[in-house]
C-alpha cells in the first residue's frame, strides 16, 4: 500500500529557536533525529545565530553537524557575522541565511526556496526588527516589497518567516501583515518562549517568540553569575559565556495544509532541560 504524506494533505514543519552554545548543539545532536522520526516532521528550520561555543555566531562545522542531524535550513540575526568565517561561508552554503533587511550590500541572502524531502517547496524568509536592534533597513518596507514579488502557492508551497527581534509589538504586527500569505511567522532573539501560539484569522501560524535551544538555568543562555556581575558592574565580570547545563529545545510544530499552504494547527514544543512542556 502506497501512502505518503501528500495523500493526507499534511506537511509538518518544526521550527526551533536560537541554539545557544555547546549545550544547545549537544542536545540537538542527541535528540533531534528521534524527534523528527517520532513527530513525523517533514521540514526543520532553526535559528543558529548563537550556536558557536562562545554563544555568538555560527561556524561551518556547526552548520554541517546540524544539517547531518536533520536540519534543513538555518536562519540567523544580529550575531550572524560574529564568527568571521561566516562572511565567506554564507556565500557557498545556500542553507544558511541571514536577515533579508541587513544594510545593503551584505554577503549571503535572506530568502530562498528549498526542496523538502517530500518534494514540496518551502520558502524561508529571515527578517530582523528595527527597535533595539542593530541598524538595518526598515523591516515593514522590506516585508511589503517581498510580498509584491512572492506569492504563496505560486512561488513556494509553504512560507516560513523568522522575525528576529526584541519587541513583541513588531513581531505581532508582522504576523498580521503576513496573515494568509505565510504558513508560519515565528519570532526569535529574546530566548524566552511566549505562550501565544495560535493560527491567525487568515490561516498563518504564529508565536511571538520560539524561545531558545539552550540551558535555562542561566540568563538567556549565558552564565547567570557572570551575567549578574555584569548587571552590578562588578569589575570581575567577564565577557558573556554560555551556561553549559542541559538544554531545553524550544520551538513550534506546525501542521500545514498542502492544498492551501496555510496552517491547520500550531503546537508549542519544548523538549528536555529545565523547562517543562505543560
Ligand atoms: Fe539575536
Instruction: Please give the grid coordinates belonging to residue 57.
Output: 555566531
Instruction: Please give the grid coordinates belonging to residue 271.
Output: 523538549
pLDDT tens per residue, range 169-182: 999 999 999 999 99
Dist. CA 249 → ligand 1 center (Å): 17
3-state secondary structure of 217: coil
- The half-sphere exposure of 211 on its side-chain side, counting CA atoms within 13 A, is 25
More confident residue, 12 or 7: 12
Q: Are 139 and 101 in contact (CB under 8 A)?
A: yes
Q: Are 160 and 125 in contact (CB under 8 A)?
A: yes
Dist. CA 18 → ligand 1 center (Å): 8
Dist. CA 77 → ligand 1 center (Å): 5
Buried b (16+ CB within 10 A) or exposed e, 230-261: beeeeeeeeebbbbbebbbbbbbbbbbbbebb
Instruction: Please give the grid coordinates belonging to residue 209.
Output: 517568540
* Averaged pLDDT of the chain: 96
pLDDT bin (cut points 50, 70, 90) of residue 168 is very high
pLDDT bin (cut points 50, 70, 90) of residue 8 is low
Dist. CA 242 → ligand 1 center (Å): 14
Q: Are 153 and 255 in contact (CB under 8 A)?
A: no
Q: Has residue 4 got a pLDDT over 90?
A: no
Q: How much is the average pLDDT of 37-49?
A: 97
Q: Has residue 2 got a pLDDT over 80?
A: no
- Judge whether 88 counts as a catalytic residue: no
Percent of the chain with pLDDT over 70: 96
Dist. CA 166 → ligand 1 center (Å): 8
Catalytic-labelled residue, pool 79, 89, 189, 191? 79
Q: Strands 73-75, 111-115: parallel, antiparallel or unpaired by DSSP?
A: unpaired
Check residue 9 and give its pLDDT: 78
Instruction: Please give the grid coordinates belonging to residue 139.
Output: 523591516
pTM given for the model: 0.96
3-state secondary structure of 11: strand
Dist. CA 147 → ligand 1 center (Å): 24
d(C-alpha 98, C-alpha 253), whole Å: 22
pLDDT tens per residue, range 91-141: 999 999 999 999 999 999 999 999 999 999 999 999 999 999 999 999 999
Check residue 278 and give its pLDDT: 43
d(C-alpha 278, C-alpha 272), whole Å: 12
pLDDT bin (cut points 50, 70, 90) of residue 6 is very low
Dist. CA 78 → ligand 1 center (Å): 5
pLDDT tens per residue, range 218-236: 999 999 999 999 999 999 9
Amino acid at each position: 500500500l502506497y501512502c505518503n504524506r501528500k495523500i493526507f494533505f499534511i506537511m509538518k514543519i518544526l521550527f526551533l529557536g536560537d541554539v545557544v552554545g555547546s549545550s544547545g548543539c549537544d542536545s540537538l545532536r542527541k535528540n533531534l533525529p528521534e524527534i523528527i522520526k517520532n513527530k513525523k516532521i517533514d521540514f526543520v528550520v532553526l535559528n543558529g545565530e548563537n550556536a558557536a561555543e562562545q554563544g555568538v555566531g555560527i561556524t561551518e562545522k556547526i552548520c554541517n553537524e546540524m544539517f547531518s542531524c536533520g536540519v534543513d535550513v538555518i536562519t540567523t540575526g544580529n550575531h550572524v557575522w560574529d564568527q568571521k568565517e561566516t562572511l565567506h561561508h554564507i556565500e557557498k552554503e545556500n542553507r544558511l541565511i541571514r536577515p533579508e533587511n541587513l544594510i545593503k550590500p551584505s554577503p549571503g541572502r535572506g530568502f530562498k526556496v528549498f526542496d523538502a524531502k517530500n518534494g514540496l517547496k518551502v520558502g524561508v524568509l529571515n527578517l530582523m526588527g528595527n527597535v533595539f536592534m542593530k541598524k538595518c533597513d526598515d523591516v515593514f518596507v522590506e516585508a511589503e516589497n517581498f510580498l509584491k514579488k512572492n506569492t504563496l502557492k505560486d512561488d513556494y508551497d509553504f512560507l516560513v518567516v523568522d522575525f528576529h527581534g526584541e519587541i513583541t509589538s513588531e513581531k505581532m504586527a508582522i504576523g498580521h501583515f503576513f496573515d494568509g500569505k505565510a504558513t508560519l511567522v515565528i519570532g526569535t532573539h529574546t530566548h524566552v518562549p511566549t505562550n501565544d501560539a495560535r493560527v491567525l484569522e487568515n490561516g498563518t501560524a504564529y508565536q511571538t517568540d520560539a524561545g531558545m535551544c539552550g540551558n535555562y538555568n542561566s540568563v538567556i543562555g549565558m552564565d547567570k553569575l557572570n551575567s549578574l556581575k555584569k548587571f552590578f558592574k562588578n569589575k570581575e565580570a567577564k565577557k558573556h559565556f554560555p551556561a553549559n547545563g542541559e538544554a531545553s529545545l524550544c520551538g513550534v510544530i506546525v501542521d500545514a495544509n498542502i492544498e492551501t499552504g496555510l496552517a491547520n494547527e500550531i503546537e508549542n514544543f519544548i523538549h528536555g532541560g529545565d523547562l517543562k512542556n505543560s
